[in-house]
Chains A and B, each alone.
Chain A
């Protein structure tokens, strides 16, 4: 089974702190994604990565950066956390297999910024 793990299920940080959210996948997928999910807004793509050291901005990259130094790991960085970044953060990896493209999601990290 594909497994996508995220470093924390719950995280509480203070405004202005630098926050690292880690995501690891064990299926050698080239593509990885970071989303945030907020009530009434669905999932919104923050950043995605085609492959190691490659990254592309999603729809809401402001206030975030990412790092992909190894194929299995994709990190989301909040340079200076703000209260409006309180949200559920979901990581996913993706692959193309037998004519279908599928994303596999981790369990999510619920981040609260106070």
Chain B
């Protein structure tokens, strides 16, 4: 299973763009990269998933360089409600492989 490394914490201010980078040097050819968000006292919530280049949805963008050894979750114009823990996961795009949630990145957005 590919291991991921993320910063433990990040601070930002409302309205700023936040970029959280995840390192996954031993990602396998068939692995996808997925990001989840978790608020206190709640289960994680899916944000975005990608395989290569760039993926964008209504809440975030995911940038994946050609070598796929890292990825960056980009949150545009964060608000206080984006304060949460963000997890980067690497694994097959099916339910047939254990996905490993690391300790995540704790993002604190201040006014």
Tell me the A residues contacting B by CB distance below 8 Å.
Answer: 4, 30-31, 35, 40-45, 48, 50, 56, 58-59, 90-92, 94-96, 99-108
Besides A42-B87, A101-B49, A103-B44, 20 other A-B contacts (C-beta < 8 A): A30-B95, A35-B101, A42-B103, A42-B104, A43-B87, A44-B101, A45-B101, A59-B98, A59-B100, A90-B44, A92-B43, A94-B95, A101-B93, A102-B46, A102-B49, A103-B46, A105-B42, A107-B42, A108-B41, A108-B43
- Residue B70 CB within 8 A of the other chain: no
- B interface bracket (residues with beta carbon within 8 Å of A): 20 to 34
A31 → chain B closest CB, angstroms: 3
Complex contact A106–B43 (CB within 8 A): yes
Chain B: interface secondary structure?
Answer: loop
